[in-house]
Chain A
Amino acid sequence: MIQPAVQLRDIVKRFGSFVAVHPTSLEIPEGAFVTLLGPSGCGKTTTLRMIAGLLDPSEGEIAIKGRRVNEVPIHKRNLGLVFQNYALFPHRTVAENVAFGLRYRGVAREDIRRRVAEALALVQLPDLGHRYPRELSGGQQQRVALARAIVIEPDVLLLDEPLSALDANLREDMRVELKRIQHRLGITTVFVTHDQGEALAMSDRIVVMSAGRVEQAGPPEEVYNTPATEFVARFLGASNILGARVAAAGDGEVVLDADHFGRITLPPERARGVGPGARAKLVIRAEKLGLSPPGAPPGDGISIDGRIETVDYQGQVARYFVRVGDTQLQAINMIDEHPFSEGDAVAIRLRPRDCAALAGDAT
């Protein structure tokens, strides 16, 4: 059996009477890039800080490489930590910042110089060692913080919202960069973010958290396409959630009678926990609803009529709010020449295999 790099067993964190993290267990495989994703206050940063040793869990056990670390102070855990605000030492040069951890590991002076140069080259800042952090841009500071964390060859790299202080364009560049470096080093990484785009783009595995509990954990495609809970469906991407009745379940398929769209047949892996005769929630991603002018050939899906109420133009795509009876649906479509206008009648098309169903009634 392969030992996980980080293992959390029923950890709980309480602050007074407030429970920040309910009993949570998690295994992070060696070399994986795992993202803790959730809105602020969901317990993701608290969980990261417990792994780091900045907080002690109220209950439960944390193991790194099979060794229980609950009682191990942070400076002996051999972790690389990158903070949202970079936390570079302002009175030290870039090279001294990066060398900081190596000095505490008794590395010889020539080796320190070599490894600092290598780390700075890896983050593409080879010539800035003599500068002070305040002389660097935000993106450069973030790279230095990353270099400082990885140069010590930590067992686990912990990233606490490292990109959220950067501008939008730089953020997208940095996430490609970060993934490249992580891949190159093969370092086990725990990444905390509230940004679903970052989570989907970078992770091998996403752990969606809400109110101190894990809602779902799995590869990005799985979490995105088959959300386990309504929270996950709403938090990742834009989703439409419709009420449905389960007409039949079993024998390799689940048949639903959904509001507006009528009969929809799903494979069982897209309708987990949905039993016959019960109510269900049909989850349809906004980009899976295709809008076309009324009267166009229906293709292989279901087609219903609607009317555009609001257009949210975003350049290459547009987000439409479409009225269907008593319901407003969201649809995100690529724009082909011209977007639809408010008041346009449209045909809304859906392929049943693009849906997922959850147990319970839609609210």
Chain B
Amino acid sequence: MATVETREARQPWILLAPALTAVALLLLVPLAFIAVYSFWLRTATGADIAGFHTDNWAEALSDPFYRDILLGTLRIAAITTLVCALAGYPAAYFIARSKANRAILLLLLMLPFWVSYIIRTMSWINILGVSGAFNSALLAMGVIGQPIQMLYNEATVILGLVHFLLPFMVLNVYVSLEGIDETLEQAANSLGATRWQAFREVTLPLSLPGLAAGGLLCFVLAAGTYITPLVLGGPTDAMFANLVFEAIITQLDWPLGSALSLMLLAILGALVALYNHFVGMSQIARGFG
């Protein structure tokens, strides 16, 4: 007969079991396959050679082509995160401080998620494309004589990523701002701080965990994206995930693609671990709450 204590100790595991099973089967097992694959060798003809070969890793880590694209990917992710933070913070602050309209504003924030991310990304072609809304308007006003090519460069990739990721940032910052007692700013004001000083000394530092959580999400999602550069980027704007896609789908080089994808995973994983060490994962969980 199980004691009350053992039953109570068992209960969380029973509740977690379905999710843990799904994660194990759908994530950990395939990941193990990928890890094993990365040490196989591809042959020009015929089947891949199983075994423990470090050739793929040597190529992935030493080829400057991969390194440059990796650095470019991290740079684009960093710029995207920065733009999201700068644009998202004021919006989150506004929502957190508005009383009557808060529900509507939050609904508006969620609205983009009702449309597929790919459709949202493609919509920029209708806006910025050669025959898009922006060019048509400029032509009609006579500002330009010929349509300008605005798409397919790094700027439009970042634009598309910001469009995709901004709600994640706003939501995370909003949650942390919402948890800050309004009387703290009032107390700071009463002690002699102007509104801006009170914000800088009290509200901003207290909302940093939310900003960090939003930043982490934006960075990781931006660094791992391949649809945005595919749709809105030019030939030279490939990001690291595009290389993985290329290796596996186009060149059918599963071993190299596996090594590349694990490389990206390791870098982003290290970032998450750093974040977890300094801020803690519970902040991100709050952002989805």
Q: Which residues of A are at the interface with B, using a C-beta cutoff of 8 A? A: 52-54, 73-81, 83, 85, 87-91, 100-101, 104-105, 148-149, 152
**A158 to B, closest residue via Cβ:** B190
- Chain A residues near B184 (CB-CB < 8 A): 87, 89
- Report if A75-B186 is in contact (Cβ < 8 Å); known contacts: A89-B202, A91-B205, A91-B206: no
Q: Does B252 contact A (CB under 8 A)?
A: no
User: How far is the CB of B173 from the nearest CB of chain A, in Å?
Assistant: 17
User: How far is the CB of A94 from the nearest CB of chain B, in Å?
Assistant: 14
**B182 to A, closest residue via Cβ:** A87
Q: By the criterion CB–CB under 8 Å, are A87 and B187 in contact?
A: yes
- Report if A54-B192 is in contact (Cβ < 8 Å); known contacts: A85-B181, A90-B206, A91-B206: no
- Chain B residues near A83 (CB-CB < 8 A): 183, 186-187
Interface of A is mostly: loop
Q: Does B197 contact A (CB under 8 A)?
A: yes
Q: Does B194 contact A (CB under 8 A)?
A: yes
Question: Once bound together, how far apart are the Cα atoms of A83 and B190, in whole Å?
Answer: 11
Question: Number of contacting residues on B, CB 8 A?
Answer: 19
User: How far is the CB of A183 from the nearest CB of chain B, in Å?
Assistant: 23
Q: Does B188 contact A (CB under 8 A)?
A: yes
Question: Once bound together, how far apart are the Cα atoms of A101 and B190, in whole Å?
Answer: 8
User: How far is the CB of A147 from the nearest CB of chain B, in Å?
Assistant: 12
- Report if A75-B181 is in contact (Cβ < 8 Å); known contacts: A54-B186, A87-B187: no
- Report if A152-B192 is in contact (Cβ < 8 Å); known contacts: A89-B202, A90-B206, A104-B197: yes
- Chain B residues near A79 (CB-CB < 8 A): 190
* Contacts A/B (CB < 8 Å), 26 sampled: A52-B190, A53-B189, A54-B189, A73-B189, A73-B194, A75-B189, A75-B191, A75-B194, A75-B195, A75-B198, A77-B190, A83-B183, A83-B187, A87-B181, A87-B186, A88-B187, A89-B184, A89-B188, A89-B201, A89-B202, A91-B206, A100-B191, A100-B193, A100-B201, A104-B191, A104-B197
* Nearest 7 A/B pairs, CB to CB: A104-B192, A101-B191, A81-B190, A87-B187, A87-B183, A74-B189, A83-B183
User: How far is the CB of A75 from the nearest CB of chain B, in Å?
Assistant: 5
User: How far is the CB of B189 from the nearest CB of chain A, in Å?
Assistant: 5
- Chain A residues near B198 (CB-CB < 8 A): 75
- Report if A81-B206 is in contact (Cβ < 8 Å); known contacts: A75-B193, A75-B194: no
- Chain A residues near B183 (CB-CB < 8 A): 83, 85, 87
**A54 to B, closest residue via Cβ:** B186
Q: By the criterion CB–CB under 8 Å, are B186 and A152 in contact?
A: no
- Chain A residues near B192 (CB-CB < 8 A): 75-76, 78, 101, 104-105, 152
Question: Once bound together, how far apart are the Cα atoms of A290 and B36, in whole Å?
Answer: 93
User: How far is the CB of B201 from the nearest CB of chain A, in Å?
Assistant: 8
- Chain B residues near A75 (CB-CB < 8 A): 189-195, 198
User: How far is the CB of B210 from the nearest CB of chain A, in Å?
Assistant: 14
Question: Once bound together, how far apart are the Cα atoms of A77 and B186, in whole Å?
Answer: 13
Known A-B contacts: A75-B190, A76-B192. Give 13 more (CB < 8 A): A74-B186, A75-B192, A78-B192, A79-B190, A83-B183, A87-B183, A87-B184, A89-B188, A89-B202, A91-B205, A100-B201, A101-B192, A152-B191
A-contact 0/1 string along B28-70, CB 8 Å cutoff: 0000000000000000000000000000000000000000000
Q: By the criterion CB–CB under 8 Å, are B190 and A80 in contact?
A: yes
Question: Once bound together, how far apart are the Cα atoms of A77 and B192, in whole Å?
Answer: 8
User: How far is the CB of B178 from the nearest CB of chain A, in Å?
Assistant: 15
**A105 to B, closest residue via Cβ:** B192
- Chain B residues near A81 (CB-CB < 8 A): 186-187, 190
**B194 to A, closest residue via Cβ:** A75
- Report if A148-B191 is in contact (Cβ < 8 Å); known contacts: A87-B181, A89-B202: yes
Question: Once bound together, how far apart are the Cα atoms of A74 and B202, in whole Å?
Answer: 16
Question: Once bound together, how far apart are the Cα atoms of A85 and B183, in whole Å?
Answer: 8
- Chain A residues near B191 (CB-CB < 8 A): 75, 100-101, 104, 148, 152
- Chain A residues near B188 (CB-CB < 8 A): 89, 100
Within 8 A of A (CB), among B195-232: 195, 197-198, 201-202, 205-206
User: How far is the CB of B194 from the nearest CB of chain A, in Å?
Assistant: 5
Question: Once bound together, how far apart are the Cα atoms of A91 and B206, in whole Å?
Answer: 7
Within 8 A of A (CB), among B169-183: 181, 183
User: How far is the CB of A153 from the nearest CB of chain B, in Å?
Assistant: 12
Question: Once bound together, how far apart are the Cα atoms of A76 and B197, in whole Å?
Answer: 13
A-contact 0/1 string along B233-261, CB 8 Å cutoff: 00000000000000000000000000000
User: How far is the CB of A296 from the nearest CB of chain B, in Å?
Assistant: 56
Residue from the set A52, A83, A149 with the largest chain B CB neighbour count within 10 Å? A83
User: How far is the CB of B105 from the nearest CB of chain A, in Å?
Assistant: 21
**A76 to B, closest residue via Cβ:** B192
Question: Once bound together, how far apart are the Cα atoms of A52 and B189, in whole Å?
Answer: 10
**B183 to A, closest residue via Cβ:** A87
- Chain B residues near A100 (CB-CB < 8 A): 188, 191, 193, 201
Question: Once bound together, how far apart are the Cα atoms of A76 and B194, in whole Å?
Answer: 9
Residue from the set B181, B190, B195, B202 with the largest chain A CB neighbour count within 10 Å? B190
Question: Once bound together, how far apart are the Cα atoms of A81 and B188, in whole Å?
Answer: 10
User: How far is the CB of A195 from the nearest CB of chain B, in Å?
Assistant: 20
Question: Once bound together, how far apart are the Cα atoms of A78 and B192, in whole Å?
Answer: 7
Question: Once bound together, how far apart are the Cα atoms of A301 and B83, in whole Å?
Answer: 83
- Chain A residues near B187 (CB-CB < 8 A): 81, 83, 87-89, 148
Question: Once bound together, how far apart are the Cα atoms of A105 and B189, in whole Å?
Answer: 13
Question: Once bound together, how far apart are the Cα atoms of A76 and B184, in whole Å?
Answer: 17
- Chain A residues near B186 (CB-CB < 8 A): 54, 74, 81, 83, 87
**A83 to B, closest residue via Cβ:** B183
**B192 to A, closest residue via Cβ:** A104
User: How far is the CB of B247 from the nearest CB of chain A, in Å?
Assistant: 47
